[in-house]
Amino acid sequence: MGLFTWSEKSPAVLHSGGVIGPDERLPWPQTGLMGVQHVIAMFGSTVLAPILMGFDPNLAVLMSGIGTLIFFLITGGKVPSYLGSSFAFIGVVIAATGYSGQGANANIGLALGGIIACGAVYTLVGLLVQAIGTRWIESLMPPVVTGAVVAIIGLNLASVPIKNMAANNFDAWMQAMTFTCVALVAVFTRGMLQRLLILVGLIVASLLYALFTNGLGWGTPMDLSKVAAADWVGLPSLHAPVFNANAMLLIVPVVVILVAENLGHIKAVTAMTGKDLDRYMGRAFIGDGVATMVSGAAGGTGVTTYAENIGVMAATRIYSTAIFLVAALLALMLGFSPKFGALIQAIPLPVMGGVSIVVFGLIAVAGARIWVDNRVNFADTKNLIVAAITLILGTGEFTLKFGDFALGGIGTATFGAIGLHWLLSRGRAQ
């Protein structure tokens, strides 16, 4: 494969259930549709994370597109990943800025300085990996650890759709309707329709929701008035960073979580495709680090390789990096369109919650697949204990505080998995 070129596969591959590898692509029309699906998959979390931190969600979408293009260029178009807003930053950003949870974050500059510092450290880790390889990381994070970390990324997010996206019993039923729609598309359709299971399921569920609410008056109706009022083209709000030592010390440790996420994601894609992407690990870290710095410099959130998109790849078995080039360009354009942002935000929350249940579940299963593909031996008590404790720490949002710094959920699970594996490997009985 030459630089940024892909061997074209026939659409017939879809009907035979074949895999499209990172260095392959479908014809551009089908590739474009898959790119749209990945944009939809990332959109919920990429919009939700900045809202929770008081950032501009349209700017976050724009920077996710720019960040993905940066990642694509630095990795030479070899690693299929999308960069979106990282949830790992939410807790530390709120702690560093004192954000109340309502409206714009008045101290956003402090967060941006910390995000840029975190991206810089992340880039240095990537340069180190590029120079000496990944063995030192792999010794700290073998398959039992990376599988657990990937799994808890999905499990930790499970409470978002379950607790926050269904306000009442009707909404819960709409969530169930949505993931049922996605499941039916996934199992009973074939070809491109099956590969677009998230997008098709979301559209069908949204239409059914509109029928039940706007048509039959059973729940909160869909409101498209904000879509009609929004401008087609507009600039998102930009902000300048403020470099404060305390804020940076709070935010920089997130780099460990980003490294674990990225490592786990690449391991997951390697397991799913059968192609060894480890040699691009350093460049992937550098790409993510640089993208985080660029995003922070403009006023956007810290970014990370997106598990949602890996979940979509797991379901579709299409790993072409061309899809992510298309998705990045779409996000770039959509970031300048308040109307599109309004349209996405008009998607009923229960419908987005039902889709999230599917995607987050696929992430968790991708972690389990790392264990299976690497033949992790759970008859070994060490592996059993590491995985067991990690899953509960991450799923239960176990939090440890160090002064003003709080390490919760994914952070405690990540550090816990690494620390437990190292501790239990020292001088153990053979």
Q: How many CB atoms lie within 10 A of CB 108?
A: 23
Token output for 254: 């997130």
In a domain, 11, yes or no: no
Q: What is the mean pLDDT of residues 175-179?
A: 94
Domain that holds residue 156: 19-425
At residue 3, the pLDDT reads: 55
Which residues pair with residue 7 across a beta bridge? 24
112: Cβ–Cβ under 8 A, 6 or more apart, which residues?
A: 239, 240, 241, 242, 296, 297, 299
**Is residue 12, in this structure, part of any structural domain at all?**
no
Q: What letter would DSSP give residue 318?
A: B
Query: Do the domain assignments include residue 238?
Result: yes
Confidence check: pLDDT of 427 > 70 = no
Spatial separation of the C-alpha atoms in residues 316 and 14, rounded to whole Å: 9
Banded model confidence at residue 102, pLDDT cuts 50, 70, 90: low
- The pLDDT of residue 181 is 93
Are the CB atoms for 340 and 226 separated by under 8 Å? Answer: no
Q: Decide if 24 is inside a domain.
A: yes
In a domain, residue 7? The reply is no
CA atoms in the 13 A half-sphere facing the CB of 261: 31
Across the chain, mean pLDDT equals 84
Q: What does the pLDDT read at residue 370?
A: 81
Question: Cβ(165)–Cβ(179) under 8 Å?
Answer: no
Residue 385 lies in a domain: yes
Higher pLDDT, 126 or 341: 126
Q: Using an 8 Å Cβ cutoff, are 93 and 99 in contact?
A: yes
Q: Is the pLDDT of residue 4 over 70?
A: no
**H or E stretch at 31:** helix 28-53
**Domains identified in the chain, total number:** 1
Residue type, 130: Q
How many alpha carbons fall within 13 Å on the CB side of residue 227?
9
CB 63 within 8 A of CB 335: yes
Question: What pLDDT is stored for residue 120 in this prediction?
Answer: 97
CB count within 10 Å of CB 410 equals 25
pLDDT score, position 1:
44
Cβ atoms of 15 and 190 closer than 8 Å:
yes
Query: Distance between CA atoms of 17 and 40, rounded to whole angstroms?
Result: 23
Q: Does residue 13 lie in a domain region? A: no
Residue-level pLDDT at 2 = 47
Asked if 354 contacts 209 with a C-beta cutoff of 8 angstroms, the reply is no
- What's the mean pLDDT in 319-343? 87
Least confident of 36-45, 168-177, 328-337: 36-45
Q: What is the pLDDT of residue 411?
A: 74
Give the tokens for residue 277.
């992407």
Is the pTM of the predicted complex or chain greater than 0.95?
no
pLDDT tens, residue by residue, 257-311: 788 778 878 888 888 777 888 889 999 999 999 999 999 999 999 999 877 788 7
Question: Would you say residue 347 lies in a domain?
Answer: yes
**Does the pLDDT value for residue 429 go beyond 70?**
no
Q: Could you tell me what percent of the chain has a pLDDT over 90?
A: 30
At 195 the pLDDT is 65
344 contact partners, CB below 8 Å, separation of at least 6: 43, 47
